[in-house]
Amino acid sequence: MTLFWIICAALLLVAILFVALPLWRGTSKNNAVVRDAANLEILRDQIAEMDADLKNGLLTPELHEQGKRELQARLLEEVGDTGGSAMSNQPHPLKIAAIVFAVLLPLASIGLYLKIGNLNAFETQTAHGMGGMAHTETGLKALEDRAAQNPDDPNALVMLARSYMEAERYVDAVKTYEKLMKLVPNEAGLWADYADAMAMTHQSLIGPATKLLEQALALNPDEPKALALSGTAAMERGDYPAAIGYWQKLQRQMPAGTADAKMVEEGIQEARRMMGMAKSGKPAPMLEQINQPPAMAQAAGKERISGTVTLSEALKSKADPNDTLFVLARAAQGPKMPLAILRKQVKDLPLDFSLDDSMAMAPEMKMSNFDQIIVVARISKSGNAMPQPGDLQGMSKPLALGSSGVKVYIDQPVQ
Q: Are residues 260 and 181 in the same domain?
A: yes
Confirm if 368 and 401 have CB atoms less than 8 A apart.
yes
124 found inside a domain = no
Q: Tell me, what's the pLDDT at 289?
A: 39
CA distance 231 to 246: 5
Q: Tell me, what's the pLDDT at 26?
A: 56
Q: Tell me, what's the pLDDT at 334?
A: 65
Q: Are residues 150 and 223 in the same domain?
A: yes
CA distance 373 to 144: 29
CA atoms within 13 A on the CB side of 309: 28
Q: Are residues 143 and 261 in the same domain?
A: yes
Q: Are residues 92 and 149 in the same domain?
A: no
Q: Are residues 269 and 203 in the same domain?
A: yes
Residue 9 CA to chain centroid, in angstroms?
24
CA distance 244 to 264: 10
Whole-angstrom CA distances from 254 to 140, 324, 366 are 34, 41, 21
287 found inside a domain = no
204 found inside a domain = yes
62 found inside a domain = yes
Q: Are residues 188 and 66 in the same domain?
A: no
Q: Tell me, what's the pLDDT at 267?
A: 82
Q: Are residues 111 and 186 in the same domain?
A: no
Q: Considering 86, 116, 146, which residue would you say is the last residue of a domain?
A: 116
Helix (H) or strand (E) holding 311: strand 305-311
Q: Tell me, what's the pLDDT at 236?
A: 78
The pTM of this model reads 0.48
Q: Tell me, what's the pLDDT at 293?
A: 39
Q: Are residues 111 and 163 in the same domain?
A: no
122 found inside a domain = no
201 found inside a domain = yes
Q: Considering 251, 280, 309, which residue would you say is the last residue of a domain?
A: 280
Q: Are residues 6 and 66 in the same domain?
A: yes
CATH for 354: 2.60.40.1120
Residue 209: give the domain boundaries: 136-280
Domain count, the chain: 3
Q: Tell me, what's the pLDDT at 187?
A: 93
Q: Tell me, what's the pLDDT at 408?
A: 95
18 found inside a domain = yes
Q: Tell me, what's the pLDDT at 396?
A: 93
Q: Are residues 89 and 157 in the same domain?
A: no
Q: Are residues 41 and 100 in the same domain?
A: yes
CA distance 335 to 357: 16
Say how many residues make up the chain.
415
Q: In the 3-class helix/strand/coil scheme, how is 369-393 assigned residue by residue?
A: HCCEEEEEEEEECCCCCCCCCCCEE
Residue ranges in the chain whose pLDDT is less than 50? 27-30, 82-88, 120-135, 283-300
74 found inside a domain = yes
Q: Considering 116, 147, 169, which residue would you say is the last residue of a domain?
A: 116
Q: Are residues 85 and 144 in the same domain?
A: no
Q: Tell me, what's the pLDDT at 278?
A: 63
